[in-house]
Amino acid sequence: MKTLDQWFEEYAVSHQNPKNKAIHYICVPAIFFSIVGLLMSIPTTFLNNLLHLNQPIIENWAVVVLLFVLIFYIRLSISMAIKIAIFSMLCVILNYYIGQFVPLWAFSIGVFVVAWIGQFYGHNIEGKKPSFLKDIQFLLIGPAWVVQNLFSKK
């Protein structure tokens, strides 16, 4: 199994151009955020019947999926898993409140599409294919790479 630093080194190969990096700093969190919103849009009847918590902010499919995502990060780095968990909680909370005012699924699809257009534009500038085309796990490395580059001391 690769270490987090090894993943970052490999990911960085196709993320050298400053414009592409800047686009990723915006679009990767936006994609993560929109996926959380899409997952929160899935009907929760099964979860409600199973858990009986009556707490929609935690009784939704996004929280279930994010628990498994955090296992991936815990295996790589406890400190990164904590950072991603905090970001994930913010995504869940913000999506919950957005969903009180607009159809969350529609809003999330819009963010998702625009962010992916940005991602592919950034890779066009870079002149390299997105890393996830080589290994799907890079879809989870991207958010950690953004956190590492924006919020960690070098």
- pLDDT tens figures, 23-45: 999 999 999 999 999 999 999 98
Confidence of residue 154 (pLDDT cuts 50, 70, 90): low
43 and 105 Cβ atoms separated by less than 8 Å: no
What's the rounded mean pLDDT across residues 101-120?
98
* C-beta separation of 145 from 138 below 8 A: no
Mean pLDDT, all residues of the chain: 94
Separation CA 19–CA 137 (nearest Å): 23
Here the tokens at position 61 are 């499919």
What is the reported pLDDT for 63?
A: 96
Whole-angstrom distance, CA of residue 4 vs CA of residue 145: 9
Residue 55: what pLDDT? 87
Look up the pTM and report it: 0.93
pLDDT value at 96 more than 60: yes
